[in-house]
A and B are shown apart, each in its own frame.
Chain A
Amino acid sequence: MLRFILGFIGALFAAVLLISFFSNLATYFQNPPAPLAADEFHREHKEVHFASDGPFGKFDKAQLQRGFQVYAEVCSACHSLKMVSFRELKALGYNDAEIKKIASDWKTQVPSINPDTGEPATRKALPSDTFPAPFANETAARAANNNALPPDLSLITKAREGGAAYVYSLLTGYRNADTYRDEKGRALPADAKPPQGLHFNPYFANLNLAMPPPLVSDGQVTYADGTKPTIDQMAKDVSAFLAWTAEPNLESRHAAGLAVAIFLLIACILGYLAYQQIWYEAKRAVRVTGALEPENQAKSRRAKAKQGVAG
């Protein structure tokens, strides 16, 4: 009886699913959904290599310093980095005095109170502070950016599919919507062209984003180490820097991972040998008795020959 009831329930679910199945197919073939320009013209991020990629990846400190310079001179005008402290810049190769100076020279000051009056005030940043945000709050950020909110960049490479390669692709991916042709040579349909105040970029999920192209000309920053500041180089450097802000412990993670993997591999091999040793007799008790099996006969002959037992 129980099985009949359960069988009936199963058949009922299956029947409703089949109705759904056919109605889904009917809808699809009667009114095929129109392809969306955002799907058709959206491009996967470019293939680009960073020093931190791969299981043995390490950060390129010179590149991180250059990328930090691009953030400081370009991105930080709109984007906050609120999870990163100045003191963490030590990982980029700056010494304590340099970090102190970077913090106190930072263009935005830290909200504070006047110690005498208690009135709101600001003070210079300290190494222990996180990077002060360019806007006091979301409303101020939106008001200054055509009602768009510049996202915080602390975790941006972990918060986007493709990570640093996506950031790099986006920064170098701006195109003129009127003259753009995709790899099949198709022009952008009129309704997909960016509305007033948005900018066309095929690497962005819905093709049009509020951020104007931030890197517009070679030499926009002047690198201290003499690297030629092309748009491509600046984009790559700042992407590498943002990979560091999102995952500052990457190097120690890779190093620890290697040690743990080697330890476990040895443990695994030793454990396997111990297992073979412990099971030797239990398995042999089985094998040797299979007297007439040719495999076992050969085995016992070999064993006897080895031990000099007549047989």
Chain B
Amino acid sequence: MSFHWAKAYEPKNSFMRWLDERLPLPRLVYGAIGGGYPVPRNLNYFWNFGVLAGIFLTIQIITGIVLAMHFYATTDGAFNSVNQLIMRDVNAGWLLRYAHMNGASFFFLVTYIHIFRGLYYGSYKAPRELVWMLGLVIYLLMMATGFMGYVLPWGQMSYWGAQVITGFFSAFPLVGEPIRVWLLGGYAPDQAALTRFFSLHYLLPFVIAGVVILHIWALHIPGSGNPTGVDVKSERDTLPFHPFYTAKDGWFAAAMLLAYALVTYFAPDYLGHPDNYIQANPLATPAHIVPEWYFWPFYAILRSFTVDFILPAKLWGVLAMFASILLLFFLPWLDKSPVRSGSYRPVFKRFFWLLVLDVLILGYIGGAPINWWRVALGQAASAYYFIHFLVILPLVSAFEIPLPLPSSISESVLHGETKEAAPLGQNKPRRGSTATAG
């Protein structure tokens, strides 16, 4: 697909030939994730997380479809259908629900690692800008899906989370409140909101799956990036996806699923909030309303604006929170450095790790109860977030002197050697081979 040495699909038996001539589906799969997709040979384990995200999306869709068979989308029935019917009476219902709850967390976890991989290795740069932007669209859809899914059990955090998040829209003058009422189908979250959230929560994962296909399609035009950021130059730089990367993804997926299983089976409520085991009560506000952990950094940015400076503080918070994600769409044009990989950019690399620390701090602040020093720390961290992307990154890319790049991927893998002794698969010890020189 991407390189001229990519192997073409050859049907192994007459049935596959028959099928391939009429509907070239086997050809498509072979070219996308089979031996027909050449991948740089020097990928490290950070390149495994895209496949992992796909695995968790699949797990979410499968567990979600079965859970939906037992869920009552009514304000009276939702809490009981989850906590009584599914958790007690449905066969292995507890497993489905815990797998779905924690599957969402792991989906976000691997996606965050995937995104930070892209930030460090410059995966957003030409010619992969659209891959990056489609990825951000997936991420936005994930956030909407995750939020609406959290509302469905109709616990206290579900209800008050819905109240707070839809309340963002009322920060906008004039149009805000009508938009909020329109989205909720009422003045507060109620039956109308619950049913439409359920409907959309069922729909959006399939939209995500569609955008994932576009994401992979766009990726396969230039082919995968790699840790050096150097373009693929020859066949020596690549290995076929199958069996090399299917094997690498395979064992690593088992390792990640093991971590997922340990949380799901032994600490299923660790990432949740106790208040969501109390049925929604519009008359009792929880002491601390917090979203799920994957929204904490954005929640911290939202809460950091405490002063009405020209605009009301709430509007500043909402604008900044949306801006903090939308600015990522402009990354290909903010970072103009021709060098992709952070490994060859000494100044960029330092700021990158500062950003990682900054986002971790924001995450902590967003999840913790507020007090004076947490608010102050959150404000400083939020300010750095914007300065990092919108000021520091363009300046660094303009003034930084990058380290010398390897001239090709195989050179970087060969540790300074100029050529390989033998083509792949022919490397048997021979009399008088180069190694005997020593």
Nearest residue in B to A156 (C-beta to C-beta)? Answer: B277
Contact B251 A24, beta carbon cutoff 8 Å: no
Q: List 18 A-B contacts (CB under 8 A).
A: A6-B330, A9-B390, A11-B387, A14-B387, A20-B306, A21-B383, A158-B277, A160-B274, A246-B277, A249-B94, A258-B265, A270-B251, A278-B244, A279-B244, A281-B427, A282-B244, A286-B413, A307-B429
> Is there a chain B Cβ closer than 8 Å to A112's Cβ?
no
Chain A residue nearest in CB terms to B258: A264
Q: Contacts A10-B386, A264-B257, A292-B438 known; A19 to B250 CB distance under 8 Å?
A: no
A303 / chain B contacts, CB cutoff of 8 Å: 429
Contact segment of B80-88, B193-201, B223-231: B80-88
Residue from B80, B98, B277, B372 within 8 A of A159 (CB atoms): B277
Query: Which stretch in A44-52, A210-218, A221-229, A293-301 binds the other chain?
Result: A293-301
**B333 CB contacts on chain A under 8 angstroms:** 2-3
Of A11, A19, A260, the residue contacting B390 (CB under 8 A) is A11
* Chain A residues, Cβ within 8 Å of B98: 253
- List chain B residues, Cβ under 8 A from A160: 274
Pairwise interchain contact B257-A16, C-beta atoms closer than 8 A: no
How many Å lie between the Cα of A286 and that of B421 in the bound state? 8
Question: Which listed residue (B87, B383, B429) contacts A18, Cβ 8 A?
Answer: B383
Query: Which one of B264, B429, B435 lies within 8 Å of A296 (CB-CB)?
Result: B435
Known: A3-B394, A257-B262, A285-B424. Is A300-B435 also a contact (CB below 8 A)?
yes
Q: How far is the CA of A297 from the CA of B434 in the complex (A)?
A: 10
Count A/B pairs, Cβ under 8 Å: 212
> Is the C-beta of A142 less than 8 angstroms from some C-beta in chain B?
no
Interface residues in chain A, defined as those with a beta carbon under 8 Å from any beta carbon in chain B: 2-3, 6-7, 9-11, 13-14, 16-21, 23-25, 28, 33, 55, 83, 88, 151, 154-155, 158-161, 205, 246, 248-249, 253-254, 256-258, 260-261, 264-265, 267-268, 270-272, 274-275, 278-279, 281-282, 284-286, 288-293, 296-297, 300-301, 303-304, 307, 309-311
Task: For the complex formed, measure the closest distance between the CB of A267 and the CB atoms of chain B, giving whole angstroms.
Answer: 4
B375 CB–A CB distance under 8 Å: yes
Q: Is B422 an interface residue (CB 8 A)?
A: yes
B258's partner among A7, A11, A265 (CB-CB below 8 A) is A265
Q: Contact flags (1/0) for B379-394 with A, using CB distance below 8 Å?
A: 1101110110111001
Q: Does B275 contact A (CB under 8 A)?
A: yes
Residues in B whose Cβ lies below 8 Å from that of A286: 413-414, 420
Contacts of A13 in B (CB 8 A): 316, 320, 323, 382-383, 386
Contact yes or no, A311 B379, CB < 8 A: no
Contact indicator B247/A278 (Cβ below 8 Å):
yes
Interface residues of B in 281-321 (CB under 8 A from A): 287, 304-307, 309, 313, 316, 320
Asked whether, in the complex, the Cβ of B376 is within 8 Å of the Cβ of A21, the reply is: yes
Give the complex CA separation of A8 and B407 in angstroms: 38
B383/A268 in contact, CB under 8 A? no
Whether A289 pairs with B304 at a CB distance below 8 angstroms is no
Whether A24 lies near B83 (C-beta < 8 A) is: no
Residue of B with least CB distance to A268: B254
The minimal Cβ–Cβ distance linking A79 to chain B, given in whole angstroms, is: 14
| Nearest-CB residue, chain B, relative to A3 | B394
Tell me whether A282 and B41 are in contact in the complex, defined as CB-CB below 8 angstroms, given that A267-B254, A289-B419 are known contacts: yes
Whether the Cβ atoms of A289 and B434 lie closer than 8 Å is yes
For A288, list chain B residues within 8 Å (CB).
Answer: 421, 427, 433, 435
Give the contacts of B238-252 with A (CB-CB under 8 A): 239, 243-244, 247-248, 250-252
Contact of A21 among B252, B278, B379, B415 (CB under 8 A): B379
Question: In the complex, what residues of A have CB within 8 A of residue B429's CB?
Answer: 300, 303-304, 307, 309
CA–CA, A279 and B247, complex, Å: 9
Q: How far is the CB of B427 from chain A (nearest CB, A)?
A: 5
- For A21, the chain B residues whose CB sits under 8 A away are 376, 379-380, 383
What separation, in Å, do the CA atoms of A307 and B264 have in the docked complex? 49
In angstroms, Cα B49 to Cα A244, docked, is: 38
Closest to B242 in A: A278
* Cβ–Cβ contact A268 & B251, under 8 A: yes
B334 on the A face (CB < 8 A): yes
What's the minimum C-beta distance from A297 to chain B, rounded to whole angstroms? 4
The one of A159, A248, A274 that contacts B251, using a Cβ cutoff of 8 Å: A274
Q: Is the CB of B83 within 8 A of A83?
A: yes
Residues of B with C-beta under 8 A to A83: 80, 83-84, 88
Residues on A with C-beta less than 8 A from B255 are 268
Q: B437 to chain A: which residues have CB within 8 Å?
A: 291-292
- A284 and B429 CA atoms in complex are apart in Å by 11
Q: Quick one: which of A19, A161, A275 contacts B248, CB cutoff 8 A?
A: A275
The minimal Cβ–Cβ distance linking B253 to chain A, given in whole angstroms, is 8
If A17-B379, A303-B429 are given as contacts, then 18 extra A-B residue pairs at C-beta distance below 8 Å, sorted by A number, are A6-B327, A7-B391, A9-B323, A10-B327, A10-B386, A16-B316, A17-B386, A20-B307, A161-B274, A254-B266, A268-B255, A272-B251, A286-B413, A288-B421, A289-B417, A291-B435, A296-B435, A297-B438
Residues in B whose Cβ lies below 8 Å from that of A304? 429
Tell me which of B94, B248, B372 contacts A28 (CB under 8 A). B372
Beta-carbon contact of B274 and A158 below 8 Å: yes
Known: A13-B320, A279-B244. Is A6-B427 also a contact (CB below 8 A)? no
Nearest residue (CB) in B for A264 is: B258
Bound-state Cα–Cα, A310 to B41, Å: 32
Cβ contacts under 8 Å, A16 to chain B: 305, 307, 309, 316
CB under 8 Å from chain A, chain B span 346-401: 372, 375-376, 379-380, 382-384, 386-387, 389-391, 394
